[in-house]
Every structure is written in structure tokens, then in C-alpha cells.
Amino acid sequence: MRLKDNEAIARQSKELATIVTQMPVELKPDDCRVSQYDRNKVTELFRELEFASLLPKLPQMETETGVAASLEVKPPEGDYKIVSNTKDLDRLVKRLSAAKTFAFDTETTGLNPMTAGLVGLSFSPAAGEAYYVPVGHVGLDPIGQLPLEEIIAKIKPLLEDKKLAKLAHNGKYDMTVLAQYDLAVQNLSFDSMIAAYLLGEKSMGLKNLAFARLAVEMTPISELIGKGAKQIPMSQVEISRAADYASADADMTLRLAEIFEPELKQQGLWQLFAEVEMPLTPVLMSMERNGVALDSDLLKQMSKRLGEQLLKLEKDIYDNVGHQFNINSPQQLSNVLFEELGLPTARKTKGGYSTGASILEELRGVHPVIGFILDYRQLSKIKSTYIDAMPSLINPRTGRVHTSFNQTRTATGRLSSSEPNLQNIPVRGEMGKEVRQAFIAAEGSYLLSADYSQIDLRALAHLSQDKSLLDAFRHDEDIHSATAAQVFGVDPGKVTPEMRRTAKTVNFGVIYGMSDYGLEQATGLSREEAAAFINAYFEKYPGVKQYLESTKEKARKEGYVQTILGRKRAIPEINHSNRQLREAAERMAINMPVQGTSADIIKVAMINLDGEMAKRQLKSKMLLQVHDELIFEVPRAEQKEMGKLAAELMSAAIELSVPLKVDVKAGPNWGEMEP
């Protein structure tokens, strides 16, 4: 079920949306947060969405009109108070102190926590009890505000007190905002967004969760600040209205935590939550706040140079084709190549024939324009995505780019990075390298990179306990060469580069659930050769084959698969009657435990490293994580110690049946690093 389906349904009927939100989890009567619903409508909807098999699980009708009695959706209700004088503020501080645990939330002027201004703070020490402290509202308002300094001075000791447990929804955001006010939140012990993520909720927004899990329909923020061009900042919203809104946020966060905590425990996810995900949040916050420095001059110079090269390529392309057109439009390009020039076609898309790189690559020799187009594509991608877009993301205050690491985005447990995505900076090719050279270390420092060698395959070796794979890693063999030797049946010394390349493709292919068709596409092999290779592979690695089977079996039986730390991914379509959907589900089931175990490992490493760096009072800073790699900014004097520490703690993060090997490099920028 995709989110957009839910949203479309939600527009028509909130009640149906609620039911569908619960899908495809087994429905219990309690899950229907509606006063009534029309069973015919639901039936129709489920058939349309191919959920007919779940119809018997719908709560039974209790009346002849087909109306089931259940919970009712309500607006947020509670005792919400505004704190705008010293006496009330002092009282609030005492109340929160006594509670030992409280939820909090911030209202700000924007979405970017690095630049947003604080508008107000809300607190909830108990369900149905919340307080709003306005600090940054502007304009005339019948309700007053205390001075920012007084509020910070009194709230700071609470938020910085390690003995008081804080709850928040997307707490990294609030912590980052408050950090700009020199307030370092300690002991964020429960983030309801992360809890929802681990529990496999479809939508992680507070409003959606409150609706689906608490039967509370919260006010959308657009009701306060508007939307589109007519938006106003929260600072211009009346205090009384902001207070209700913000109080509900803190209140619902607390209530969600109360139901999520037992669920996490019951599902065996508590340790992952409390000892990995929650401790990771402040580490990510500091990485984001650290940011990374850019060589703006180099970017400018590259932009100019690439612009000139692109103009030349454009001319070459137009000359070859005979007229001008928009090369960036796949549709127009398809027309030119396949209609006008009559080149052989491959895959079809909606707008015409596919013009992807792998297809153009096949046509390289057929027409001289193809080479120019491929070059154009490559340069244009690098220029627009990685060069021209970057300067606008430099924070004027820090002069650095501060990516955002999202902890609740991926299906496997990996992090993702956005605004900008620093996890997909080019690395291959001349130009790719040059882009990386624009990511530089501060004066007197180096960038240091520590990356896991073959972590996914090591995770596979551990999970599958395949004897040959374990052996290969225990003897620190070149795994792709070892695979090639095994599968081609030659001596390790006799493996050709070609053989190794094929073996490498297959090693990765296994992790992705590759078919003979997939292998054929990815290599030059014929279908038969590909199938034979895969067969030979599984004969040499029977443990891997067995593991893949048992993983799929687990998904079929339990409905989910897991990583080494118990992280779960639901695989709802594993038993689907549509073969394509079912096989796609199988590939997800195979891939998630491997990719997710790697993610578990590096997360633990990050937490341990952050702790040890603080303990040793190192000046080095963790800047980036790129799935199997950590990048630090390291004063020259700490380079040796930091390299050793990173390698040690990354290797020791989680003990597997095979060693975890870590390679360390350093240099003045991300593009020029040496061991």
C-alpha cells in the first residue's frame, strides 16, 4: 500500500483512510477508529486495491445496516495552559522537574532547524496536561511573553538535566533549534517518530499517527500558517491559537510514547530503540551541525568549464542530428534517436523509447551522436546536481553545508541524507573526483575516511553461515577473486580480470536477489551462461542458497524479516498471487537483512566513536556517513590517533562470525585521500 493511495482515500473518506492505514496488518475491531463505516464501500475499496483476501478479517458488522460500533475520532482534548509570566514559568519548571519525564516540542519560523528561529516551546508532563511558552511571537497580542533570556535561563537546566527524561517527536529537529540558542538537550529518551518507524508505521507524521493510533484528529498546521504563497511564519500566529496547536503536539507525543513503548518491548525492538536509535540521534545532530566545508572557488571554476564543454557538445549533437532540440528531454531525445534517425529500439517507456545510459551504451558504435549524448548527460548531471545546486545550500552563518540525516526514511534501517544528499556525491570518473575535491577540510585539518570493506558480503557470510564464504573472509581473501576461482573452477592465481568482474556482479547480485535475466543484463553473458553461473554459484555456496530459502520462508510464515539486531521489515506481498509482485517481495526479503545488518553495525560504531571521542576530548569531528563509510574532520595532530580509533571501534562494533575489516584514508579533501 502506497501512501498516496491513502491520501487519495483520505480526501474522500477519513473513516476508510483509517481502516486502510492499518492495512495490511491484521485488522482487529479496535483498529477501526471510526464510529461507523459502510462495509460495501470498504469491500469495494479492498477489491480495487487487491486486498480482497483480507476482507474476512474486517470487523464483523453488528447491525443490519452494516454499521459497526467502535471508537470515535475526536479533536485533541486536554488542559492546555499558556505560560506568559514569571510565576507560571516557575510553577511549570517545578512541575516538569517533579514529573521526571516530559514531552516537549518547539514552534519555529521555518523548516530548516539550522536557520529557524524559536517561536515557542510546549511541554507535557502527563497525558492531557500541556503548557505553551511563547517566546518569539511578533505583533500586538493580548497575551504577553516573557523575555527570551528569562525563559532560556529557566528552561535550560531542565532540558540539560540528564536525570529528566525527554520525549519528543522528531527530537533531532528540536534539539538542533535549541542548540542554536546554546541549549544542549540531554537524555532525549523517547522519540515517537523513531518508535513509529521501528514499528513499521506507514506514515511517521505526528498528525497521522495521532489519527491512526489515538483516534485524535489534530489541526493541520496549514490552518494556522496557511499554505502556498500565502503562508505566514508561526511567529505571526496569535499566541492563543499557537498554544492550542503546540500543546496538542506535546500532549500527543507523550500519549503516543505511552502506547509505543510496550509495543516496542513486546516486539523485541526495545533494545534496538533504546540502545541504538535513540543514542544515535544526538550523534546525527552534531554531524549535521558540524557541516562540511566547500571550496566555492573550485565549484565556480568547474561550473564555468563544464558550461563551455556542454555548449560544445550541444553543437556537436545538433550538427549530427541536423537541428536543435532539448537534449534534456527524454521524450524529444527518443523521437530524434528512434524516429528520425531510426536507431534500433529497446525498452519502451510512457513517452517513447527508453534513452537510459545502458541502452545508449549499446548504440555507441551505431551512430556518432550517441557518444556526444552520453558525454552531455554525464557532464550536465554533474553540473546541475552537484555543482550549481551546492552553493545555495551553504549556510551563510557557518560557511558550510549542513546535510540532514534522516533516521526514519528507509525500509532497511539505513540512514538517508538530503538537502543536500551527501551520500551520492560522485566518486567515479575524472569529473566525479573533481567534485569530491571541492569538499575540503578546515585549515590545519584533514578529512579522514574510514570505510568497511565488503560489509554487506560479510553480513551475508554471518547471516548465512556459509562455510566457503566464512572461510574466505577469515583468510582475508579477495572475495570476488575467490568467488571467481570457486565458480569457474580455476586456481586463485588463474582468475582473469573478466572472471573477477563477473564474480563481483554475482556477489552483489545475490544480495539483491538477482535472476538469470538480471545477470544477463548486468554482464555480457547470455541467458544460459548466466543461469549456469548462478547454478554453479549456489553449488559452491550451498549455505547462501539455504539462507535465501529460509529467509523467504520466514517472510512467508511471519510476514517480516529481520536484521542482526532484530530490526524488522514487513513483507506484505510475499504471498501475493501476482508473480511479479511476489518476486519483488522476495527480493526485498532477501536484501533487507543484509543491508539492514550493515546499517545496524555502522550505527553502533558511530555511537561508540562519538562517545570515545568525547571521552578523549578529541577535537576531531564526525561529519558524514555514507552507508559503509564514516568521514571525519581531523586536526593534523590527531590524524594518527583518530585513524586508529575509527578502525578499532568500527571493527568491534558488533561481533560477527567473520572479521570486520576497515580501511582508513586521509587527505586535504574528499577527492584526494591516501592510506
Angle at which helix 455-464 crosses helix 467-474, to 10 degrees, equals 130
Pick the closer one to DNA by CB: 82 or 360: 360
Binding residue (CB under 7 A) for DNA from 65, 296, 324, 418: 418
Binding residue (CB under 7 A) for DNA from 205, 233, 426, 559: 426
Pick the closer one to DNA by CB: 177 or 514: 514
- Whole-number minimum distance, CB 611 to DNA, in Å? 23
Q: Binding segment for DNA among 13-21, 183-191, 277-285, 507-515 (CB under 7 A)?
A: 507-515
- Whole-number minimum distance, CB 627 to DNA, in Å? 3
Q: Which helix (H) or strand (E) holds 178?
A: helix 171-179
- Whole-number minimum distance, CB 286 to DNA, in Å? 20
According to the binding rule CB under 7 A, does residue 538 interact with DNA?
A: no
| Core vs surface per residue 594-603: b (16+ CB within 10 A) or e | bbbbbbbbbb
Q: Residue 299: which of 425, 389, 372, 411 has the closest Cα?
A: 389
Q: Residue 211: which of 364, 403, 75 has the closest Cα?
A: 75
133 forms beta bridges with 121
Binding residue (CB under 7 A) for DNA from 70, 145, 176, 334: 334
Which residues 6+ apart lie within 8 Å of 237 measured at CB? 137, 224, 225
State the DSSP string of 562-583: E-TT--EEE-GGGG-SSHHHHH
Binding residue (CB under 7 A) for DNA from 113, 120, 509, 543: 509
- Whole-number minimum distance, CB 580 to DNA, in Å? 7
Pick the closer one to DNA by CB: 212 or 387: 387
Give me 272's grid cell: 534496538
Distance CA 542, CA 554 (A): 18
- Whole-number minimum distance, CB 155 to DNA, in Å? 32
Pick the closer one to DNA by CB: 233 or 351: 351
Give me 69's grid cell: 460500533
Binding residue (CB under 7 A) for DNA from 162, 350, 475, 615: 350
Sheet holding 292-294, edge to edge: 400-401, 292-294, 439-440
Q: Residue 422: which of 401, 443, 437, 407 has the closest Cα?
A: 401
Size of the site for DNA (CB under 7 A): 70
Distance CA 114, CA 552 (A): 43
- Whole-number minimum distance, CB 430 to DNA, in Å? 11
Distance CA 68, CA 254 (A): 29
Give me 538's grid cell: 549456489
- Whole-number minimum distance, CB 634 to DNA, in Å? 20
- Whole-number minimum distance, CB 142 to DNA, in Å? 36
According to the binding rule CB under 7 A, does residue 536 interact with DNA?
A: no
Binding residue (CB under 7 A) for DNA from 52, 357, 366, 614: 357
470 forms beta bridges with none
Angle at which helix 527-540 crosses helix 479-488, to 10 degrees, equals 100
Beta strands in 507-648 (DSSP E): 560-562, 568-570, 621-625, 629-635
Binding residue (CB under 7 A) for DNA from 216, 484, 514, 605: 514
Distance CA 438, CA 422 (A): 12
Query: What string marks each residue from 466 to 505 as x (binds DNA by CB under 7 A) or -?
Result: ---------------------------------------x
Binding residue (CB under 7 A) for DNA from 84, 122, 355, 551: 355
According to the binding rule CB under 7 A, does residue 364 interact with DNA?
A: no
Q: Which residue has the cell 509495543?
A: 263
According to the binding rule CB under 7 A, does residue 11 interact with DNA?
A: no
Binding residue (CB under 7 A) for DNA from 521, 535, 550, 575: 521
ω before 24 within 30° of 0 (cis)? yes
- Whole-number minimum distance, CB 581 to DNA, in Å? 11
- Whole-number minimum distance, CB 173 to DNA, in Å? 15
Distance CA 275, CA 277 (A): 6
- Whole-number minimum distance, CB 456 to DNA, in Å? 8
Q: Which residue has the cell 473513516?
A: 15
Burial of 39 (0-12, 13-18, 19+ CB in 10 A): middle
- Whole-number minimum distance, CB 621 to DNA, in Å? 20
According to the binding rule CB under 7 A, does residue 356 interact with DNA?
A: yes
According to the binding rule CB under 7 A, does residue 419 interact with DNA?
A: yes
According to the binding rule CB under 7 A, does residue 24 interact with DNA?
A: no
Site for DNA in 386-415 (CB under 7 A): 388-389, 406, 409-412, 414
Pick the closer one to DNA by CB: 272 or 519: 519
Site for DNA in 612-671 (CB under 7 A): 626-629
- Whole-number minimum distance, CB 387 to DNA, in Å? 10
Binding residue (CB under 7 A) for DNA from 354, 453, 546, 639: 354
- Whole-number minimum distance, CB 289 to DNA, in Å? 18
- Whole-number minimum distance, CB 335 to DNA, in Å? 9
According to the binding rule CB under 7 A, does residue 522 interact with DNA?
A: yes
Cα dihedral across residues 54, 56, 57, 62: positive or negative: positive
664 forms beta bridges with 450
Binding residue (CB under 7 A) for DNA from 230, 428, 475, 615: 428
- Whole-number minimum distance, CB 400 to DNA, in Å? 16
Q: Binding segment for DNA among 196-204, 212-220, 425-433, 457-465 (CB under 7 A)?
A: 425-433
132 forms beta bridges with 82, 122
ω before 29 within 30° of 0 (cis)? no
Angle at which helix 429-437 crosses helix 296-321, to 10 degrees, equals 160
Q: Binding segment for DNA among 97-105, 218-226, 381-389, 475-483 (CB under 7 A)?
A: 381-389
Site for DNA in 166-225 (CB under 7 A): none
Site for DNA in 572-611 (CB under 7 A): 580, 584, 587-588, 591-592, 595
Residues in the chain: 675
DSSP code for 201: -
According to the binding rule CB under 7 A, does residue 512 interact with DNA?
A: yes
Three-state DSSP state, 293: strand
Work out the number of other CB atoms within 10 angstroms of the CB of residue 78.
Answer: 18
Three-state DSSP state, 524: coil
Distance CA 32, CA 34 (A): 5
> Up-side HSE of residue 310: CA atoms within 13 Å toward CB?
18
Q: Binding segment for DNA among 139-147, 280-288, 329-337, 555-563 (CB under 7 A)?
A: 329-337
Q: Residue 590: which of 456, 409, 453 has the closest Cα?
A: 456
Q: Binding segment for DNA among 206-214, 426-434, 536-544, 552-560 (CB under 7 A)?
A: 426-434
Contact set with DNA (CB under 7 A): 4, 326, 328-332, 334, 349-351, 354-358, 360, 377-378, 381-382, 384-385, 388-389, 406, 409-412, 414, 416-421, 423-429, 432, 505, 508-509, 512-519, 521-522, 527, 580, 584, 587-588, 591-592, 595, 626-629
